[in-house]
Amino acid sequence: MKGLVGLEETIIRFEHVTKQYDHNDPAVLKDVSFEIQRGKFYTLLGPSGCGKTTILRLIAGFTEPSKGNIYFNGKVINRVPANERQVNTVFQDYALFPHLNVFENVAFGLRIKGLKNEAIKAKVLEALRFVNLSGYENREITEMSGGQRQRVAIARAIVNEPEILLLDEPLSALDLKLRTEMQYELRELQRRLGITFIFVTHDQEEALAMSDEIFVLNEGTIQQSGTPTDIYDEPINRFVADFIGESNIVKGRMLRDFEVEIAGKTFECVDQGLNEGETVDIVIRPEDLEITSHESGKLQVRVDTQLFRGVHYEISCYDDTGNEWLVHSTRKATVGERIGLTFEPEAIHVMRLGETEEEFDKRLESYEESGGGDSHGS
Ligand SMILES: Nc1ncnc2c1ncn2[C@@H]1O[C@H](COP(=O)(O)OP(=O)(O)OP(=O)(O)O)[C@@H](O)[C@H]1O
């Protein structure tokens, strides 16, 4: 978790960064603070317009923050020009030069820097080897497939030996099969190179599959940051739960620590530190619900629809208070049948309405300081 790992080295730090492109427009990033550790694979995930590309542009030096500071290796870089930063970007459309062959596309930046031909050749061949394109040096860009162009764009970025590689939706132009292959390749490449990757996507499955850490963004704020499992298993609010995968999100009421009311019934849970009687959002993942007989279920529901998805059935049910429950089960049900649902206390995720990650951390901290958690089980 953040702040606990002493050996990690911070390469980028955003400190209360706000970005407004125009004084008359609303801020597109609002008081954003985070840290990026060297050598990890990060993903910025969020819907269109939430500010992902703006974060990349600030790191690359294509734009400046309106307020706050950006640190690179401990030094403020707000106004350091892009060409003086150890950062390279791979763009969505690759931005390759169609009139240059593969070798010259990759060599372009090195020629501008004035390197000697010998050095350029060695570096370009090595970069092409890294992206599995050895032997393609003399090919025209127009003769390369989408996936190959993608690799040329990556080779052109890594040939400069940046400390950070920024990737702005680099896979979005590829078909699904190639996209999956490239996800694997990119992840492997990052491990081999040991460079910090910051990858932008609005595809949650891509983010979960590739990242060491994910930042989930919405409307210019970071809603939650953490490992893929942290974010999938413990979404902090309704937005994250909804965005990061299929979820059942219903209203509930906290009765006391470790006890919550859902659909008029009382359930044991693992959450604490909320107010008694507080209305909360409850998340239960479809795969955490199990089908059982009507009588033995913790929750009684009626089956509304059922779809066979190959590995499991996707069953939609309603409880008596009108909440819809989506269930992923290997067991088949019958439409119209009344069945029971069971789940473990750990499957219930309680979220305070509209709470941010910072507020969540503060709440747990103050709760633990007050000795609140000690009474459980005694
Ligand atoms: N140069 C600019 N001038 C003015 N507004 C801009 C500029 N660039 C981006 N914006 C606005 O800032 C907001 C955030 O844009 P940004 O490109 O960072 O979002 P994003 O999350 O990357 O979106 P997408 O997934 O659609 O690329 C949007 O409302 C966008 O219209």
pLDDT in tens, 233-242: 888 888 898 8
Using an 8 Å Cβ cutoff, are 63 and 19 in contact? yes
Distance from chain centroid for Cα 270: 25
The protein residue with its alpha carbon nearest to ligand 1, atom 24, reads 48
Burial of 164 (0-12, 13-18, 19+ CB in 10 A): buried
Residue limits of CATH 3.40.50.300 in the chain = 10-233
**Alpha-carbon distance 20 to 231, whole Å?**
28
Per-residue confidence band for 182, with pLDDT thresholds at 50, 70 and 90: confident
| Residues 36-81 pLDDT 10s | 999 999 999 999 999 999 999 999 999 999 999 999 999 999 999 9
Per-residue confidence band for 185, with pLDDT thresholds at 50, 70 and 90: confident
Residue list, ligand 1 pocket, CB within 6 Å: 21, 28, 46, 48-54, 202
Ligand 1 test: best mutation among 43, 44, 53, 91, most atoms within 8 Å of CB?
Answer: 53
As assigned by CATH, the class of the 10-233 domain is alpha beta
Residue limits of CATH 2.40.50.140 in the chain = 247-372
Instruction: Tell me the mean pLDDT in the region 338-364.
Output: 85
Cα of 202 vs centre of ligand 1, distance in Å, is 13
Q: What is the pTM of this model?
A: 0.84
Per-residue confidence band for 371, with pLDDT thresholds at 50, 70 and 90: low
Q: pLDDT: is 79 or 372 the higher one?
A: 79
Angle between helices 146-158 and 102-113 (to 10 degrees): 20
**What's the one-letter identity of residue 20?**
Q
**What's the one-letter identity of residue 378?**
S
- Give the range among 29-33, 125-129, 239-243, 280-284 with minimum mean pLDDT: 239-243
247-372 homologous superfamily: Nucleic acid-binding proteins (2.40.50.140)
- Within 10 angstroms of residue 222's Cβ, the number of other Cβ atoms is 24
The protein residue with its alpha carbon nearest to ligand 1, atom 12, reads 28
Helices (H) and strands (E) in the chain, counts: 9, 20
ipTM of the complex: 0.95
- For residue 63, the ligand 1 atom closest to its alpha carbon is 1
Using an 8 Å Cβ cutoff, are 91 and 199 in contact? no
Average pLDDT over the chain, rounded to an integer: 90
**Alpha-carbon distance 183 to 43, whole Å?**
12
Using an 8 Å Cβ cutoff, are 210 and 183 in contact? yes
The protein residue with its alpha carbon nearest to ligand 1, atom 17, reads 53
Instruction: Tell me the mean pLDDT in the region 283-299.
Output: 94
**What's the one-letter identity of residue 77?**
I
**Alpha-carbon distance 314 to 308, whole Å?**
6
DSSP 82: G
Ligand 1 test: best mutation among 52, 169, 199, 223, most atoms within 8 Å of CB?
Answer: 52
